[in-house]
Amino acid sequence: MTASLAARDLSVRYHTPNGDVHALRHVDIAASPGEVIGIVGESGCGKSTLVTALANLLPANARVDGSILYNGVDLVTLGAHRQRMLRGDEIALVGQDPMTAFNPVLTIGDQLVDFQHHRRDLSRREKKARIADMLGKVGISDAERRMASYPHELSGGMRQRVAIAAALLTDPGLLITDEPTTALDVTMEAQIIHLLRELRRAFNGIIIVVSHHLGVIAELCDRVYVMYAGEVVEGGDVDAIFHDARHPYTQALLACDPARFHDRLDRLPTIPGSLPSLMAPPAGCVYEARCDRAFAPCRATPPPNAIVSPGHAARCHAVMR
């Protein structure tokens, strides 16, 4: 299935008893069929809120402004029933925690049959055949035995593979993976990365990979969006971001990547300071308080989205100097 995706001027705020949390502000992202898009940033920057908004799974206290165009249809304005149909037929989300992805009292096979509830043209036997084939594609051998297993009988890596298989059984045009390797050990992480790399060769839809792991993004993605404090501060193709980063936050994030250090360090590098409050975001640049290149306009004026090169932009006053 092919699809196109574009979030335009997307903002999300959560209403709480203590005030509104401005989790996303004026986010623009785009993706075309066959592309793998990476979303990176430290914890609390809005990555999960963004992909939850794309999947129409925001909680009831969320308020959304802007638009999310999926094949030209604005998901923000769709009714609840149509949103559920899209999630079942065209948009699939693989969450962070494979340990809680499945019902513990039903077999894997029964649950994967239920994932295909929208395929009324298929018999139960045909659905099981699709499951066996898909489990094989994600690297799970002896599919018949695994279908009869309960979730606790599978390792974390196998559960994550099954979660990916479950998403693919819906034939999605948009596959969202939110921190797909976070709960896994190094060996399982490598296997999931290899699986996603193989999937992109056969999957003509859009894949969005959310991760704080820069190595995962570098290996899998065509284009990357860097988020900080609810904003996209830089976006471009993967080579531009990793080899010609222009925003000070992107540069600092890359400088902290442990994979870049070949000698033993007594102390890993960090970015001084902390994220600003999302209940009262700064009037100017959200990164100003932590930036060693900040100057007068950064404190009071929101930075422009400066074009570095075609397809590469950074939201920074310093880029324009």
Q: Tell me how far apart the alpha carbons of residues 255 and 151 are, in angstroms, rounded to a whole number.
A: 39
Domain boundaries defined on the chain: 5-90+170-271, 104-169
- Asked if 62 and 230 touch (Cβ cutoff 8 Å), the reply is no
- What pLDDT, on a 0 to 100 scale, did the predictor assign at position 84? 77
User: Model's pTM, two decimal places?
Assistant: 0.89
Read off the pLDDT of residues 233-244 as tens digits, 9 standing for 90 and up.
999 999 999 999
Read off the pLDDT of residues 142-170 as tens digits, 9 standing for 90 and up.
888 999 999 999 887 888 889 888 888 88
- What pLDDT, on a 0 to 100 scale, did the predictor assign at position 183? 63
Q: Tell me how far apart the alpha carbons of residues 157 and 159 are, in angstroms, rounded to a whole number.
A: 5
- What pLDDT, on a 0 to 100 scale, did the predictor assign at position 28? 95
Mean pLDDT of 272-280: 92
Mean pLDDT of 127-138: 90
Q: How far out from the chain centre does Cα 6 lie? A: 14
Confidence label for 301 from pLDDT (cuts 50, 70 and 90)? very high
Q: Which residues contact 37 (CB under 8 A, 6 or more apart)?
A: 29, 31, 206, 207, 208, 209, 221, 222, 223, 224, 225
User: Which is it for strands 36-40 and 223-228: parallel, antiparallel or unpaired?
Assistant: parallel
DSSP symbol at 152:
G
Q: Tell me how far apart the alpha carbons of residues 76 and 73 are, in angstroms, rounded to a whole number.
A: 9
Domain 5-90+170-271 sits in CATH at: 3.40.50.300
Q: How far out from the chain centre does Cα 266 lie? A: 32
Q: Tell me how far apart the alpha carbons of residues 31 and 20 are, in angstroms, rounded to a whole number.
A: 30
DSSP symbol at 73:
E
Q: Tell me how far apart the alpha carbons of residues 82 and 198 are, in angstroms, rounded to a whole number.
A: 31
Confidence label for 109 from pLDDT (cuts 50, 70 and 90)? very high
User: Which has the closest alpha carbon to 134: 119, 112, 111?
Assistant: 112
Mean pLDDT of 116-132: 88
Q: Residue 82: helix, strand or coil by DSSP? A: helix
Confidence label for 321 from pLDDT (cuts 50, 70 and 90)? low
Read off the pLDDT of residues 30-65 as tens digits, 9 standing for 90 and up.
998 889 999 999 888 999 899 999 988 899 999 999
The beta-carbon contacts of 266-274 under 8 Å, at least 24 apart in sequence, are: 271/42
Q: Tell me how far apart the alpha carbons of residues 158 and 95 are, in angstroms, rounded to a whole number.
A: 14
